[in-house]
């Protein structure tokens, strides 16, 4: 699924796409450079996406980064929790590329 999302994102010429294997890997990458947008899943090994969102929102450097959650966890409680932690968009899987790209463009002002 991640590979398909990466391929879809590469359709936007203005984006440079980077991947992380889990929430800890994402935090390591965020520590080394600035990103314009963050896409995460709730279910990831080592650190889940909800913890990642909460840590990013507490970080002064990255607190304003738009966050999109793409997940199989489509329940109302999962959506509410992700949004309350600071996600901007919650997309249940299966994700449609056109819809995802629309959200990315909107959040980035493209």
The closest alpha carbon to 100, from 44, 17, 22, belongs to 17
Residue 100 has a pLDDT of: 93
Cβ pair 95, 7 in contact under 8 A: no
Q: Which domains does the chain have, with CATH numbers?
A: 2-108 (3.40.50.2300)
- For residues 84 and 61, what is the distance between their CA atoms, to the nearest angstrom? 20
Q: Tell me the pLDDT of the chain (110 aa) as tens digits.
A: 778 888 888 888 888 899 998 999 999 999 999 899 999 999 888 899 999 999 999 999 999 999 999 988 767 888 999 999 999 999 988 889 899 999 999 999 98
Residue 24 has a pLDDT of: 94
């Amino acid at each position: 699924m991640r590979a398909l999302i990466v391929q879809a994102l590469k359709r936007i010429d203005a984006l440079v796409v980077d991947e992380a294997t889990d929430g800890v890997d994402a935090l390591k990458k965020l520590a080394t450079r600035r990103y314009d947008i963050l896409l995460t899943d709730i279910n990831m090994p080592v650190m889940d996406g909800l913890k990642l969102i909460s840590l990013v929102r507490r970080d002064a450097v990255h607190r304003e980064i738009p966050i999109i959650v793409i997940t199989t966890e489509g329940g109302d409680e999962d959506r509410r929790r992700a949004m309350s932690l600071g996600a901007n968009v919650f997309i249940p899987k299966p994700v449609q590329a056109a819809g995802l790209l629309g959200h990315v463009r909107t959040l980035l002002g493209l």
